[in-house]
Structure 1
Amino acid sequence: MNVRRSPLGEGATLALSIIAFFFVMTSYYVLRPLRDQLVGAVGSSSLPWFYAVVLVTMLALTPVFGWLVARFPGRRVVATSYLAFIACMVAFIPAFVAQDTIGAKTLGVVFFVWVSVFNLFVVSLFWSFMADIFRSRQARLVFPFIAFGGMGGALLGPLITRLLVERIGVPSMLLISAITLLAALGALMALSARPGDAGAAHGEAVGGSILEGAKSAFTQPFLRYMAILMLLSDGIGTMAYALVADYAKAHFTDNAGRTAFYASLDLWVNGLGAIMQLTLTPLLLRGLGAVWAMVVPSLVNFVLLALLVVFGPADIGVMGFTVPLIAVVMIGSRGMTYGMIKPASDSLYTRMPREARYKGKNFIETAVWRFGDLAVTSALTAARMAGVGISTIGLVCAGVAAIATEIARRAATSPDLLPEDRDR
């Protein structure tokens, strides 16, 4: 394995990278249920406000993030950012102790935005750091192993939360998240402790602005299809997330109980995603190509939403447990997105020219994604206020899933995709 002048052995370099991402994702997935229980405390009616603030914040911080990565050595940016987030976690502990006094809505909007910024900086910085460690050709070989380590963290985080939150309380989970992020930082600093200044390399800058990314998303057929698919497919998941928030508000009265419930959902979502990535997704990508890997999740969404139309907000039996059908819809939709659509779409993005790929993908996965969240939750709130039932909402979303199936097919067969064997 050819890595950039590391005093560590090749195996140790890869192992530390895997360990670092494992702890990054563990930290993040301990935080997610804490954020989601705040949403569950106030219900879906507050989500449009939450997503509006997130959208504005992300649009403001995305160029700041790019400037920091381009301006300062990677080691310094990673260390400073991670330590700042660890300090914030500790600072949030008194706020969660006083959650009932502060109010779930007030604390929720602050923490919801903060977790979104955490995800932008901590996860994105990790992969930028990996790009400094491994050369591009070797990255194709080692990145799947590193991502698999993250998958383990994405399973461990909600499992830890599910097992401990009702014993030690919600505020204490912040300390656990801080400790796991500190462990990730330790592994990354060990990776950067090598001779010379290789660890501070930035890589070739792409340049440009988010406006150029927007232009690419509208002018390139593949990117245009991906933007529409993001709005449609993520809209279904966001709808389910909002309805689950209403369920949590109605069925859980204590903070720890809601947190454990959301941790269980994350565990099921990530478990399904892991199973897909290890079984069906590789078979589809290697055997039938990206087309079916893009289309199958939309077909699954259609079936799940059809069940919602028939049965409404009912509880169903799954493996001896009684669970709300809307939770099954959310687990299926998000699990298939993480486990199948994401690997398939990432493989398609590699067939775009570098400039369009980076700028357009960034715009779609920030501005389009967050705008979709805001639009869907606002429409859902209006529909619920007008007395529209879950079965009707499910019928509309089933139609959306049917449209998404065709858009996914068109994206995977877009005429502007470069041949798979072309060297770029």
Structure 2
Amino acid sequence: MNPPAGAARTGGLTLALSVIGFFLVLTSYYVLRPVRDQLVGAAGSSSLPMFYAVVFVVMLALTPVFGWLVARFPRRRVLLGSYLSFVLCLFAFVPAFVAQDRIGAVALGQVFFVWVSVFNLFVVSLFWSLMADVYRSAEARLVFPIIAFGGMAGALLGPLLTRLLVVRVGVPSMLVVSAVTLLLALGALLVVLRRADANDRGENAPLGGSIIEGAKAAISQPFLRYMTLLMLFSDGIATMAYALMADYTKAHFTDNAARTAFYADLDLWINGLGAVLQLTLTPLLMRRVGTAWALVLPSVVNCVLLAWLAFHGPGDTILFGFAVPLIAIVQIATRGLTFGMSKPAVDALYTRIPREARYKGKNFIETTVWRFGDLLVTSGLQGLRALGVGIAGIGILCATLAALAVEVARRAATSPDLEPESDERRRG
């Protein structure tokens, strides 16, 4: 298979290594995710506000650190230092999981939930910031769906590995599997950067500037303001579904292994849907009718599904002759559309803003804003329940957020401060 024509400037090998790098990054993450989620399922949604509060505090502490790093060091050093730090942390968790019975599952679960959330946000966000450096805007529309599809393959392999191996080698060994795949991803990305540096040394220079410029950009620039709102609305929907799923698994599963297997199956369905979209509808929309449709359509579907949830409830519904929890359908659809359609569209749009905003504004939105939304939504969910609001009211509220997200997504994709697409130039 020949690489897309737009990839000629960066080379077919660069594209192949980008795909492999993202495949390994998401394999590493999705080996860990079912282990994390089953701990949440054991505790139920009532524990989530505390979990997310800690995550939010950690984000506030680490986001300036990230800004300081990219302001003063070349991207190669930032990549190397960040990924190696996470690899070392994975190995450090191994003895903790060996001693899980003595430490206690709840205490270890709280720490591990926070750490895996930080791992996901920083490792994946940094990857896409680097890709936006390597590929130009017109190239991105062609190659980002391919790169994201490679990631979807890793997102399928990760939970599959966990499901197949955890009962044989134990949880501590899964951390080693995750660390090894992340190291392999780092190797592929270092080669990508070396090839990109040979073509354009200027992009490898430190960014300079203040560590709070990401937050300033998210407030001052129209496109980043829309991205902030879209993150809050979309996160509200996804976090609500995640919390309701935690309550469902707490009520229906008492065995840790069975609960882990259920979450692994859920991730397989979610990522399978995302992979199908990456292979079919998403590239068709982005190439033929523009990025705006790929950003708006998921919010439209979410609105319909959440209205269905409001009137039906989270319990079983009949789908293709099988009884399936409706909340599982909602979570599969919302997350599958996010990973399979919204994410490639958003990352393609980020190639059309200045480089500093890509690193600092994007990272601020995808770390601090995201986790503030998690805290806000889970705390709000507990407050609504305390007031006697049932699933119907919660579903209607989230359907309203999805409707607002439709308009915000449209405005983001047509924001006046987006640079025009061009084959011939890069932003400095």
By the TM > 0.5 criterion, same fold?
yes
C-alpha change, 1:383 and 1:166, in structure 2 (3 Å) is: farther
Amino acid at match of 2:110: V
Q: Between 411-420 and 320-329, report the one with greater CA deviation.
A: 411-420
The question of 1:26 aligning with 2:27 is answered: yes
Give me the whole-angstrom Cα distance separating, in 1, the residues matched to 2:103 and 2:62. 27
Q: Between 100-109 and 197-206, report the one with greater CA deviation.
A: 197-206
Shift of 1:355: 4.5
Deviations 1:199-228 (A, max 9, x none): 999713333335333333233333222211
Amino acid at match of 2:155: A
Shift of 1:153: 0.8
Could you tell me which residue of structure 2 aligns to residue 313 of structure 1? 314
* 3-state SS of 1:316 partner: strand
Give me the whole-angstrom Cα distance separating, in 1, the residues matched to 2:162 and 2:211. 37
Shift of 1:365: 1.7
Give me the whole-angstrom Cα distance separating, in 1, the residues matched to 2:276 and 2:307. 24
Deviations 1:296-355 (A, max 9, x none): 111111111111112112112334543311111111111111122222223333333444
Compute the RMSD of aligned alpha carbons: 3.3
Shift of 1:258: 1.6
Could you tell me which residue of structure 2 aligns to residue 57 of structure 1? 58
C-alpha change, 1:271 and 1:107, in structure 2 (3 Å) is: same
Amino acid at match of 1:111: F
Deviations 1:112-153 (A, max 9, x none): 221133234433555566688x57589746655444322211
C-alpha change, 1:222 and 1:72, in structure 2 (3 Å) is: closer
Are the aligned partners of 1:217 and 1:223 in contact in 2 as well (CA < 8 Å)? yes
Are the aligned partners of 1:158 and 1:263 in contact in 2 as well (CA < 8 Å)? yes
Are the aligned partners of 1:55 and 1:370 in contact in 2 as well (CA < 8 Å)? yes
* 3-state SS of 1:322 partner: strand
C-alpha change, 1:333 and 1:210, in structure 2 (3 Å) is: farther
Could you tell me which residue of structure 2 aligns to residue 346 of structure 1? 347
Shift of 1:83: 4.4
Could you tell me which residue of structure 1 aligns to residue 163 of structure 2? 162
Q: Between 68-77 and 215-224, report the one with greater CA deviation.
A: 68-77
Give me the whole-angstrom Cα distance separating, in 1, the residues matched to 2:291 and 2:311. 31
Could you tell me which residue of structure 1 aligns to residue 4 of structure 2? none
C-alpha change, 1:208 and 1:47, in structure 2 (3 Å) is: farther
Are the aligned partners of 2:31 and 2:174 in contact in 1 as well (CA < 8 Å)? yes
Give me the whole-angstrom Cα distance separating, in 2, the residues matched to 1:221 and 1:129. 23
C-alpha change, 1:288 and 1:18, in structure 2 (3 Å) is: closer
Could you tell me which residue of structure 1 aligns to residue 294 of structure 2? 293
Could you tell me which residue of structure 2 aligns to residue 172 of structure 1? 173
Give me the whole-angstrom Cα distance separating, in 1, the residues matched to 2:106 and 2:290. 45
Amino acid at match of 2:315: A
Give me the whole-angstrom Cα distance separating, in 1, the residues matched to 2:127 and 2:405. 32
The question of 1:377 aligning with 2:349 is answered: no
- Total equivalences in the alignment: 416
C-alpha change, 1:203 and 1:191, in structure 2 (3 Å) is: closer
C-alpha change, 1:70 and 1:215, in structure 2 (3 Å) is: closer
Percent of residue pairs bearing the same amino acid type: 70
Shift of 1:375: 0.2
Amino acid at match of 2:331: M
C-alpha change, 1:23 and 1:295, in structure 2 (3 Å) is: closer
Are the aligned partners of 1:305 and 1:329 in contact in 2 as well (CA < 8 Å)? yes
Matches within 5 A, 1:142-161: 145-161=146-162
C-alpha change, 1:210 and 1:342, in structure 2 (3 Å) is: farther
Give me the whole-angstrom Cα distance separating, in 2, the residues matched to 1:421 and 1:198. 17
Shift of 1:192: 7.9
Are the aligned partners of 1:75 and 1:199 in contact in 2 as well (CA < 8 Å)? no
* 3-state SS of 1:281 partner: helix
C-alpha change, 1:164 and 1:357, in structure 2 (3 Å) is: closer
Q: Between 376-385 and 360-369, report the one with greater CA deviation.
A: 360-369
Matches within 5 A, 1:51-90: 51-69=52-70, 71=72, 78=79, 81-90=82-91
Give me the whole-angstrom Cα distance separating, in 2, the residues matched to 1:199 and 1:172. 41
The question of 1:395 aligning with 2:396 is answered: yes
Could you tell me which residue of structure 2 aligns to residue 218 of structure 1? 219
Could you tell me which residue of structure 1 aligns to residue 3 of structure 2? none
Could you tell me which residue of structure 2 aligns to residue 6 of structure 1? none
Shift of 1:70: 5.5
Q: Normalising by structure 1, what TM-score?
A: 0.85
* 3-state SS of 1:317 partner: strand
C-alpha change, 1:164 and 1:75, in structure 2 (3 Å) is: same
Could you tell me which residue of structure 2 aligns to residue 7 of structure 1? none
Give me the whole-angstrom Cα distance separating, in 2, the residues matched to 1:43 and 1:310. 23
Deviations 1:169-213 (A, max 9, x none): 43332232233234334545677899x999999713333335333
Amino acid at match of 1:352: I
Matches within 5 A, 1:6-405: 14-69=15-70, 71=72, 78=79, 81-124=82-125, 126=127, 140=140, 145-187=146-188, 203-209=204-210, 211-319=212-320, 321-405=322-406
Q: Normalising by structure 2, what TM-score?
A: 0.84
Amino acid at match of 2:309: L
Give me the whole-angstrom Cα distance separating, in 1, the residues matched to 2:149 and 2:218. 30
Are the aligned partners of 1:74 and 1:200 in contact in 2 as well (CA < 8 Å)? no
C-alpha change, 1:80 and 1:401, in structure 2 (3 Å) is: closer
Amino acid at match of 1:254: D
Could you tell me which residue of structure 1 aligns to residue 5 of structure 2? none
* 3-state SS of 1:253 partner: coil
Are the aligned partners of 1:235 and 1:373 in contact in 2 as well (CA < 8 Å)? yes
Amino acid at match of 1:270: N
Give me the whole-angstrom Cα distance separating, in 2, the residues matched to 1:191 and 1:411. 30
Give me the whole-angstrom Cα distance separating, in 2, the residues matched to 1:385 and 1:295. 33
